[in-house]
Amino acid sequence: MSATLLEVRNLQTHFVSELGRVRAVDGASFRLESGQTLGIVGESGCGKSIMSRSILRIVPHPGEIVGGKILYQRDGESIDLAALDPKSAEIRAIRGAEIAMVFQEPMTSLSPVHTIGDQISEAIRLHQLFSKAAARERTIEVLSLVGMPRPEGIIDRYPHELSGGMRQRAMIAMALSCEPRLLIADEPTTALDVTTQAQILALLRRLQGELGMAIMFITHDLGVIAQMTDHVIVMYMGRIVESADVDSLFYQPQHPYTGALLHSIPRLGSSQPGGKLNVIRGSIPDPYAVPGGCPFHNRCRFNDGDRCQSETPIMREVRPGQFASCHYAGEVDLEGIALAEATP
């Protein structure tokens, strides 16, 4: 049986400015097992990336964790990452070494004035007692591991000299250089063409099998979720609205937002030429003025006009192992899709 690697309890990460308070993550709770691939899905601005940055304690100013726990299990000890100083030696020893992250856009994450080799070697020497020569050898080794062509030459090149796919492989190599127990992949294929995206996804699956690490996969692409993950959590307005294994989520969604996301996936042969794509009606509420009740009620076709607008639903188990925060979860007829249809 797999053991719990990370448990997030009622996490709250807020941004306070002159305009007001934004509850970027508003009471999120979930559990990640060792070796598991957890998908986090939702529209842009729903809190996916801020939640991952909260785990690593790299939330940008003026954001801060104002409540909840992030319990990381190591050597029989439970460490509350939320309680650590973001600049402390303890979190810096974990960040990059035991929990690593692949960011969405390599060109904004990699230094343009340092070679790929220097940046990866620095990460290795920061966390391990390697000499400069040994760190260079390890860098070539991890570049080869991620399928980088001619790593002995690539190591001395700058990010702008590489293609998008090669830069993303370099980012993955840096994240894996210390063999982390958890890899957080934040939209790692968004800016890539379809062929390169397929290669990167296949690479992540292979490396997970070889290294035995857990992966937290953050994306808005449900096709990637279907292909990559074991368990999925769906976020909306900073809250987790549904949690289920991937098959249950695609075949039998229990929250109207999940159903709307699935229904909006374009499918070959499912509509007439020139027909309109299915969209989720309405728009995301102003983050400075989130409506009361269910945060999705202004876009939900099952809104009853009373309870949905006045009472916040709680997360409850609707089917075995499947949770949803909807007053009418399990009662409304939601359209699921076949897993094969969602896989690119």
**Domain spans, the chain:** 99-179
Residue 241 to residue 323: CA distance in whole angstroms: 8
Element (H, E) at 17: strand 4-17
pLDDT at 30 over 50: yes
Q: Averaged over 287-315, what is the pLDDT?
A: 91
Q: How confident is the model at residue 16 (pLDDT cuts 50, 70, 90)?
A: very high
Distance of CA 269 to the CA centre of its chain: 31
Residue 327 to residue 291: CA distance in whole angstroms: 16
Q: How confident is the model at residue 271 (pLDDT cuts 50, 70, 90)?
A: low
Find out whether 218 and 40 touch, Cβ atoms under 8 Å.
yes
Q: How confident is the model at residue 340 (pLDDT cuts 50, 70, 90)?
A: very low
**Helix-, strand-, coil-residue percentages of the chain, each rounded to 5:** 35, 25, 40
pLDDT > 90: percent of the chain: 55
Q: Averaged over 214-222, what is the pLDDT?
A: 91
Backbone angles phi, psi at 313, to 5 degrees: -70, 150
pLDDT at 272 over 70: no
Q: Which of 5-14, 205-214, 265-274 has the least mean pLDDT?
A: 265-274
Position 191 scores a pLDDT of 66
Q: How many CB atoms lie within 10 A of CB 280?
A: 18
pLDDT at 344 over 80: no
Position 187 scores a pLDDT of 85
Tens of pLDDT along 94-137?
998 899 998 877 667 788 999 999 999 988 888 887 888 999 99
Q: Averaged over 275-291, what is the pLDDT?
A: 82
Q: How confident is the model at residue 274 (pLDDT cuts 50, 70, 90)?
A: low
Tens of pLDDT along 136-159?
999 999 898 888 889 999 999 999
Position 294 scores a pLDDT of 94
pLDDT at 336 over 80: no
Residue 157 to residue 37: CA distance in whole angstroms: 32
Q: Averaged over 70-98, what is the pLDDT?
A: 93
Total-model pTM = 0.88
DSSP annotation of 251 reads H
Residue 3 to residue 219: CA distance in whole angstroms: 25
pLDDT at 270 over 60: no
Q: Averaged over 68-88, what is the pLDDT?
A: 94
109 or 212: whose pLDDT is higher?
212
Q: Averaged over 195-216, what is the pLDDT?
A: 86
Phi-psi region of 188 (alpha: psi -120 to 50; beta: other; left: phi over 0): alpha
